[in-house]
Amino acid sequence: MEKMYFSIAKSFGRLQLIPEPYGLRLYYLPNVNGELSPDAVGACDVLVPLPAVGGLWATARAFLYGVESLDENIIIRDSEGDVLVKLYRDKPKGAQGKLTGEELSWLRIVSGRSEEERRRIKLGPRDLLCIELACNAVLVLSGSPVYQQEAQQPGNIRRSAQVVTDPGSEHLLNS
């Protein structure tokens, strides 16, 4: 990989968080018989578009610092089908629904109906920090003068996708 990325490694696979000017790329490689396998069932390459990165960043930061926050649900709709990216935390374990600090955080990436296409990754503080820093890098890249010049050049076309961050609103990314 020739780009900067953050890595969340687990026994069952590795998730690379790759900041890009147009969003955060989630590149997941499953571990098959002790080897990372980009061609195995369950491998995925998903781009969380720029309009959804800020919410992901804020939620990861809230979870990292143990403050109240709703889950972050991002539905990406494009010609290849729907993908769900969900950052969530266990229900509060304290009295009257208060956080105790014992709640676990999870990242879920669902790109299909099979079990291999429903990836659920338990996140520790380091993993949440990786998500926060990767999102921050996307925000920096998207505002950089280099990106602004590139985006204005003819011929720089991106595949468009529809992002739904909550059931009542839909955002369309332009090519």
pLDDT tens-digit series, residues 46-55: 999 999 999 9
Domain locations along the chain: 6-148
Q: Which CATH class is domain 6-148?
A: mainly beta
- pLDDT higher than threshold 60 for residue 171: no
Residue 101: what residue type? G
> pLDDT band at residue 147, thresholds of 50, 70 and 90?
confident
More confident residue, 70 or 151: 70
pLDDT at 164: 58
- Going by C-alpha positions, the residue among 141, 159, 169 that lies closest to residue 74 is 169
pLDDT at 144: 85
Residue 74: what residue type? I
pLDDT tens-digit series, residues 153-165: 544 444 445 565 5
d(CA 105, CA 107): 7
pLDDT tens-digit series, residues 72-125: 999 998 777 899 999 999 999 889 889 998 999 999 999 888 888 899 999 999
Confirm if 138 and 56 have CB atoms less than 8 A apart: no
pLDDT tens-digit series, residues 2-51: 678 999 999 999 999 999 999 999 999 999 998 998 999 889 999 999 99
d(CA 157, CA 148): 14
d(CA 135, CA 123): 16
Predicted TM-score (pTM) of the model is 0.82
pLDDT at 97: 85
